[in-house]
Amino acid sequence: MTSSQDHLLPLEKDDQTGRGILLIYTGGTIGSAPQDPMDPHSPQIVMPWRDLKTSIPGLDRLGYPIDAISFAEPLNSCDIEPYHWQWMADIIAQRYDDYEGFVILHGTDTLAYTASMLSFMLGHLGKPVVVTGAQIGGVSFVRNDAHQNLLTAAMLAHPKAHGLKCIPEVMVCFGGRILRGNRTRKVDSFRFQGFDSPDLPWLGECGERIVLRPVYSLPIPSEPLRVRTEVERDVIMLEMFPGIQRAKILEAILSQQAPKGIVLRSFGAGNIPTEKGFLSTIQAYLGDGGVVVNVTGVGRGGVNMGLYDTNQQLLDLGIWSGFDMTPEAAMCKLMWLLGQEHDDVQEIFQSSLVGELSM
């Protein structure tokens, strides 16, 4: 393994025998507790996996071992960086044959990015990788969503033990919903149903029973796992707003060291301002070899380039359509594709690799 191992605690083996699951603990609210145990309103800090593990009744009664690898310094997920994604993918690659499936415990803020990126990094995935977190931590709050989310994620990661069909993909299990990882968005910072996949039906639902809809999940691949973790970090996301055309933001960004790629979060079905200076700045950037992709800043529906004269112009300029990809998936896919050796990045970006787009 890479030097990433220095940043991981040693594998914690469960006492139970048999083939189990591997849990990767990165941190997040799910494992957080108030800094001052006497003051529930004091700022929360991320606790070690052991503290969360011992607070979950029933985790040891699922009937199979739950081994764990924890980040040596578990994070609030707003501090996630691309190298953390590489650690997670490396852990799964190295232990792929030893487990039925994998659970990743993660903060909710950037969980959709992590789920998206792992779906690209873990090519031909044939086992469940279930990403979850919580709105209320499970270490010290009695009323929480952490325990249910974690237990259900563990069950999905070991489908055989629970009479479930295997979903061989990176998925998000949260608030009773089972979602394709690269279609997931954080949609609520308050309710337990914090995530949704606006442009793809849920892969399943967890209520009194766990009900899966395999018709929506990816098939079991015929090829072995292929892990590719190189990414291009030099990609930015830019949200449109009225006034950006004369705000000179883009010009300022591009005049220094221009990024390799830009994800534009456009208006509606893919529109951006048509002001000449703004468009010619983009044109010059594209002419210098930059890449611009277009995703909608609206919550659902995707972009339809060519629908209006305004976005037909963007196609003519050479901007790529992100179709109905989420901004998170488009950002991760672009970082990942620009980090690989590919002859036709545009064609690959605009086709579905792991169910991330449907248009």
Catalytic residue among 2, 17, 26, 29: 29
CA distance 69 to 91: 8
Q: What whole-number distance in Å separates Cα of residue 168 and Cα of residue 181?
A: 11
The nearest distance, CB 195 to ligand ASP, in angstroms, is 11
- By beta-carbon proximity to ligand ASP, the closer residue of 28 and 261 is 28
Q: Least separation, in Å, of the C-beta of 151 and ligand ASP?
A: 18
**Binding residue for ligand ASP, selected from 16, 76, 274, 313, defined by CB under 6 A:** 76
Among 61, 85, 25, smallest CA distance to 155 is for 61
Q: Which of 74, 101, 107, 204 binds ligand ASP (CB under 6 A)?
A: 107
- Per DSSP, the residues of 249-307 read HHHHHHHSS--SEEEEEEBTTTB----HHHHHHHHHHHHTT-EEEEEESSSSS---TTS
Interatomic CA distance for residues 312 and 271, integer angstroms: 9
Q: What angle do CA 182, 183, 189 make, to 5 degrees?
A: 105
In the complex with ligand ASP, the residue whose CB is nearer, 107 or 261, is: 107
| 47/354 with CB nearer ligand ASP | 47
Residue nearest to ligand ASP (CB): 107
Integer Cα distance of 242 and 266 in angstroms? 11
**Residue with smaller CB distance to ligand ASP, 76 or 274:** 76
Look up 296 and say whether it is catalytic: no
Partner residues linked to 67 by β-bridges:
22
CA dihedral sign, ordered 328, 173, 100, 6? positive
CB of 237 to ligand ASP, least distance (A): 18
Segment 114 to 153, residues that bind ligand ASP, using CB under 6 A: 133
Q: Which is nearer to ligand ASP, 77 or 245 (CB)?
A: 77
Instruction: Check binding of 78 to ligand ASP (CB under 6 A).
Output: yes
The Cα angle at residue 334 between residues 330 and 340, in degrees rounded to 5: 145
CB of 105 to ligand ASP, least distance (A): 9
Q: Which of 55, 108, 245, 271 binds ligand ASP (CB under 6 A)?
A: 108
Residues 20-49 that bind ligand ASP (CB under 6 A): 28-29
List of residues contacting ligand ASP (CB under 6 A): 28-29, 76-78, 107-109, 133
Q: Kindly list the catalytic residues.
A: 29
